[in-house]
Amino acid sequence: MNNIFVSLEKEVFRGNILDVGLDNNGVIYNVYKYYDEDLDVDYLEGRENTGSMKSDYYDSCILFFSLHNIVNGREKKEII
C-alpha cells in the first residue's frame, strides 16, 4: 500500500475556511488557529450538515479524504 504525505507547512489559508470531510480530525483547525485565533473554521461532515453552510461566507474550502476507505475500485477511479 502506498502512502502520500501532504505538507501544509508552507500553505497560507486566509479568511474563513470550510473544512469538508468524513472524519473530523481537527488537522485544519489546529493548523489554522495556531496562526490566527480570530477567524472561523467550520466543519461539514456528510450531506445532512449542508444546511449549516453560510452563503458567501467562506474564503477557502479544504477537503481531506482517504482512498483506502472506498472499497469499490470503480469509485476510486472516478475520484482520481
Instruction: Give the pLDDT band (50/70/90) at residue 62.
Output: confident
More confident residue, 64 or 24: 64
pLDDT per position as a tens digit, 35-51: 666 767 776 666 666 66
Indicate the domain borders of the chain. Answer: 17-79
Whole-model pTM?
A: 0.52
Asked if residue 59 has pLDDT above 70, the reply is: yes
Query: Reading across the β-sheet that carries 17-20, which strands appear in turn?
Result: 41-44, 17-20, 60-63
Give residue-wise pLDDT tens across range 5-46. Answer: 777 777 777 778 877 776 666 677 777 767 666 767 776 666
At 24, which amino acid appears?
A: N
